[in-house]
A and B are shown apart, each in its own frame.
Chain A
C-alpha cells in the first residue's frame, strides 16, 4: 500500500532528453496507465520508478520514502516485464519463490503465498514445470504470480500483454483489472494500446515526447482532451481536426454557436457527426463527398472530403447505403465541438 509521487522527474541520455520534467501524484491503490506513442518515454519512466534506470533530476517517492538512491530490491515494488523474464532454469514454483527466498521469508509463509497466488491465477497444474513448457498466456500468468507473491507496495507493468494474441489480451486485461481491484495495490501500467489504456485505467497519463500531455480519468480525456495530441490519440477513429477560420472550406457554424477568440483548430469526433436532417438544429454543418465506407459490425465509418479537400471521418449506425462519390450534408451538435488554439491547447 503506497502512494507514489513523481516530482519534476527528468532523464537524459547523453544529450537526448527522454523525460522532460514529469510530476505525478499516484494515490494509494490506484491503477495508473501510462500511454503514448512509441518512444515517448513510457518504459523509461516506469523503469525509473523501478530503479532500473538512474534518475537525472527530480525525486521519486514511494510510500513517503524518497527512493532516488535505493536499489530496485529496496523499493518494495514488483515488475511484470513484456517478455515475462521468467528464470528459464527454475520451475514455476522456484520462480515464484525466488524473490521471497532472497528476503529470507520463512518456508511455510512462502508455500502459503505460492498456493494462494497459484489458485488466484489458475497456474496450480504448472507449478513443477519449467517456463519453456508453458504457453505464452501461461507464462504471462506466472509472471503475474511472481509479482503477486511478493505482496509489494506497488506493481509496475511494462506492456505485459503485448506478446499475446488479441483474444487472450482482452481476457487477461479483464483479469488484471479484477486482480488489481481485489488486491487494491497501487499499480503503474505501461501500454501503447489506447483501448487497453481506456479499459484498465483509473486515471490515464498521456505522454508525448517525454512530457505529460494530460492526466485524467478515461472519460475526462475522451470528453475534454486538453490538447490536440490527446484529442487524436484517445478515441478510434481519431478526432477530425479542421483548421479555422476557413472561409470556403465547406463547413459552417450556425445559430448561437461562434468560434471563440484565438481558435486555430476545430475538433469533432467521428461519433459526434451525423447525417443532417431537416428540422434538426445543428451547430455545425458541412458538405461531404464520400471517398470510402468502412463497415465495422454494428456501425460504419465513412471517409470523405470537404469541398476544399480536407479529409473527414464520420460514423453512421447500421449498414448504410452510402456509396462512393455520394455527396451529402453532415452535422454535429454544439456539445460535440472542441476548440483548440494555435499551440493545440484546449479553449474553454
Chain B
C-alpha cells in the first residue's frame, strides 16, 4: 500500500467530508434512530413511550407471523435469484457465441439482449394482470384458475417474475463478461477432449464462472431481500393473506400501516444485521475465490 502525504492538514478531511456527511445523514442517523426506537414501546394511544429493553426483539422473534414472513422472504429470494440468474446465464451463453473474440463494435450487439428482458418484464406484467391481461384472460378461458389476488402461490410466482426481470439485464452483463474472460483455448481443449454442449458447459464453463455466479448470488439475494418493496407494493401488496409479505414489506406494514413503531424498528434493526452479515460474507469470499488461473 502506498501512502500519500498531504502538505495541508485540513484538505484531506475536506475531501472526504461530503462522503462522511452523506453516510451520517442517510445511514448512521436513521440507523441510530431505528436502534433507539427498537427499545421503546408506545402505549395503545400513542401518547407516550417507555423503554422496554430487548422486549421488542423477543416479541418479534417469537411472533409466528414474523417467522412465516422470514420463510416467505427466503423462498422469494431464492426463486428470484434462480430465475434472474438462470435466464441471464441462458441469454449470456447465447450472446457469447455471437460476440466472442470480436471488436467493441460487435460488443455493442449485446445491448439489445440486455434491454430486452426489461421490456419483456413490463409486457409480462400487463399480460398476467388478472383484471386486464390478455394471457390472464386466456388462462382463465382454458380452465386454469389464474387469480393471484386469491391464490398465494400464483401471487408469489407473479412477484418473483416481476422482481427477477429487473435483475436479468444486470446479471446478463456480468455473465457475458465472465464468459468472455474464459480463454478460448480452454473451450477448444475441451472440445478436442470430447466434451460438447451441456457436458462442456457443466464441467468447464460453469466452474470457471463460479466467482461471477457467487458474486451475483449475493447481489441478487440482497436485492430480493431489500430492494423489492416497490414491486410487492404495486403487484400484491403483500397479499393474499400475507403470502407475499417479505420482511421489508412487513416493516412497512407494521410501522406505517399498523403504527407499531417499536416492533417495526426492531425488525429493521434485524434486517440491518442481515445485510451487514451478507456484505461481510461476500467480501470474505469474493476476495478469496475470484482468483482462478
Q: Which residues in A have some Cβ–Cβ distance to B below 8 Å?
A: 50-52, 71-73, 77-79, 81-83, 85-89, 98-99, 102-103, 132, 146, 150
Contact = CB atoms under 8 A, between A and B. Distances in A.
Contact of B195 (A52, A78, A89, A98): A98
Nearest to B192: A72
B293 A88 contact: yes
Nearest to B204: A87
Interface in B88-124: none
B287 interface: no
Interface of B: 183, 185-186, 188-196, 199, 203-204, 207-208, 210, 292-293
A98 B193 contact: yes
B293 A85 contact: no
A71 B196 contact: yes
Q: Which 6 A/B pairs are nearest by Cβ-Cβ distance? A: A99-B193, A102-B194, A73-B194, A85-B185, A85-B189, A89-B207
A87 B186 contact: yes
A99 B191 CA distance: 9
Contacts of A73: 191-196
Contacts of B186: 85, 87-88
Contact of B189 (A51, A71, A79, A89): A79
Nearest to A102: B194
A79 B204 CA distance: 17
Contacts of B193: 73, 98-99, 102, 146, 150
Nearest to B199: A102
B189 A88 contact: no
B293 A79 contact: no
A87 B210 CA distance: 14
Contacts of B194: 73, 99, 102-103
B293 A99 contact: no
Contacts of A83: 183, 185
A44 to B, nearest CB: 14
B192 A79 contact: yes
9 contacts: A51-B192, A52-B191, A77-B192, A79-B189, A85-B183, A85-B185, A87-B186, A87-B190, A89-B292
A48 to B, nearest CB: 13
A72 B208 contact: no
A102 B195 contact: yes
Given A79-B188, A98-B190, A150-B193, 18 more contacts: A51-B192, A52-B188, A71-B191, A71-B196, A72-B191, A73-B194, A73-B196, A81-B185, A81-B188, A85-B183, A85-B189, A86-B189, A87-B204, A102-B193, A102-B194, A103-B194, A132-B292, A146-B189
Given A73-B196, A103-B194, A132-B293, A85 B208 contact: no
A88 B204 CA distance: 9
Nearest to A53: B188
B204 to A, nearest CB: 6
A72 B183 contact: no
A252 B100 CA distance: 59
Contacts of B188: 50, 52, 72, 79, 81, 85
Contacts of B204: 87
Nearest to B188: A52
A259 to B, nearest CB: 51
Contacts of B192: 50-52, 72-73, 77-79, 99
Nearest to B292: A88
Nearest to B291: A132
B169 to A, nearest CB: 28
B208 A89 contact: yes
Nearest to A147: B192
Nearest to B206: A89
Contacts of B185: 81-83, 85
A78 B194 CA distance: 10
B232 to A, nearest CB: 38
Contacts of B210: 89
Nearest to B203: A98
A146 B192 CA distance: 11
Contacts of A88: 186, 208, 292-293
